[in-house]
A and B are shown apart, each in its own frame.
Chain A
Amino acid sequence: MKTITVKIKGMHCKSCEVLITDDLKETGAVSDVQISHKTGQAKITFDEKNIDEKKIKAVIKQEGYTLA
């Protein structure tokens, strides 16, 4: 298990948090997401055997957010 913290730009409200959390969980390899649209911070815990940081970032970008 590995935990990373990323900064996400473009989150407006609670829905953005839920959306990103859902998307990450759907990959099946992310076990925990703590995210706040107020700070833009997301703490993501994942299984590095099944997914890597690059892929996680791609999932977030796919929804139209940018990473700082």
Chain B
Amino acid sequence: MKVKIFVPDIECESCVKLLEKKLKYLQGVQEKTFYNDSVDVTYDSALITPENIVAAIREMEFRASVHPFERKTVKERVRDWKENRHKYQTEIAVLKYAVYLFLILGVLESIAYLGFFTTVPFFLQQYGWWLLYLNLSVATLGAALWHYLSYQARMTSMVGMMIGMTLGMQTGLMLGAVLGATNGFFIGATAGLVLGVCVGALAGSCCGIMGILEGVMAGVMGGTMGAMISVMMLSDHILWFMPVYMIVNIFVLLGFSYMLYEEVVEGREGVTRRRIDFFTFASGCIIITAVLSSVMIYGLKSFIVGGV
């Protein structure tokens, strides 16, 4: 008899060796072939059942099952989302908070504009779109980061690298592009790089040096690249490009949250949820937006965007 046992926690060669050793001593196990996240076992059904093998693997603190781990297809996940809303409270809260924050930022900026900047010539033409994109970036990046921070779980290095990389890169790309467009390459790249590196390192720190480094490198790359994109495109329909760029980036963040849920939350034991507090989330994001929009308006401007 042959059975496929799913063991998603296989990380490296040592795990395979350990499992091999364990299975070797089980009576009735004949042949075994290891894959990245599963093992095919041929066994003698008179001596052992698949359940025994699964139990033996679990004894070693690996997750194991004869059924694939709850890695649902997108379609199944959507159905699950509709049917079991209670499972996704955190996600729903994060989405709501992102929308609220986006609206609050819009209101605060409108007040600031009406109070202080109506007399500045061409203010809206110069900053209007970019403030909107800044708000959009901060709200979505903040939400993705908060979604990640609201789970406390044991993560593999692989997932940690994805987390550091995605958040570092996206922070750099989105904020770097916005500030690059208003202030030129220097400020855009600097701000993108600093924020990308910080967020990347913070996010990757769940999994030690691999996650941190991946986050830092992604921050460097995303920050400079984001500014580069907008500076190079300033003379070439950037306002047509931006919506596409933002939508793609937001989809990446949605994909990230989806990945996080699939890899870290679903089917895992020992995952704790922290309650998300809208006040801390919003105030953090509002402060960041205030700093970045001040940099945008009062910061150094390169000649390419009309500075000196």
Q: Is A67 an interface residue when CB atoms closer than 8 A count as contact?
A: no
A66 to B298, CA, bound (A): 56
Q: Is A29 an interface residue when CB atoms closer than 8 A count as contact?
A: no
Given A13-B157, A38-B208, residue A19 in contact with residue B17 (CB < 8 A): yes
A65 to B157, CA, bound (A): 20
Q: Is A63 an interface residue when CB atoms closer than 8 A count as contact?
A: yes
**Which chain A residues border B18 with CB–CB below 8 Å?**
15, 18-19, 22
Q: Is A43 an interface residue when CB atoms closer than 8 A count as contact?
A: no
Q: Is B288 an interface residue when CB atoms closer than 8 A count as contact?
A: no
- Check B208 against A15 for contact (C-beta < 8 Å): no
Minimum C-beta distance from B63 to chain A (A): 13
- Check A16 against B208 for contact (C-beta < 8 Å): no
- Check B12 against A18 for contact (C-beta < 8 Å): no
Closest to B209 in A: A38
- Check B15 against A15 for contact (C-beta < 8 Å): yes
Instruction: For chain A, give the interface size range.
Output: 10 to 19
Given A18-B60, A38-B208, residue A12 in contact with residue B17 (CB < 8 A): no
- Check B14 against A15 for contact (C-beta < 8 Å): yes
Given A18-B60, A38-B208, residue A13 in contact with residue B14 (CB < 8 A): yes
Closest to A38 in B: B208
Closest to A65 in B: B14
A15 to B17, CA, bound (A): 9
Q: Is B85 an interface residue when CB atoms closer than 8 A count as contact?
A: no
Given A19-B18, A22-B21, A63-B17, residue A12 in contact with residue B208 (CB < 8 A): no
Minimum C-beta distance from B34 to chain A (A): 13
With contacts A13-B14, A15-B11, A16-B14 known, what are 20 further pairs, Cβ within 8 A?
A12-B12, A12-B14, A12-B157, A13-B11, A13-B12, A13-B15, A14-B61, A15-B15, A15-B17, A15-B18, A16-B12, A18-B14, A18-B18, A18-B60, A19-B14, A19-B18, A22-B21, A38-B208, A63-B14, A63-B17
Q: List 28 A-B contacts (CB under 8 A).
A: A11-B14, A12-B11, A12-B12, A12-B14, A12-B157, A13-B12, A13-B14, A13-B15, A13-B157, A14-B61, A15-B11, A15-B12, A15-B14, A15-B15, A15-B17, A15-B18, A16-B12, A18-B14, A18-B60, A19-B14, A19-B17, A19-B18, A19-B21, A22-B21, A38-B208, A63-B14, A63-B17, A64-B13
Chain A positions within 8 Å of B, measured between CB atoms, are 11-16, 18-19, 22, 38, 63-64
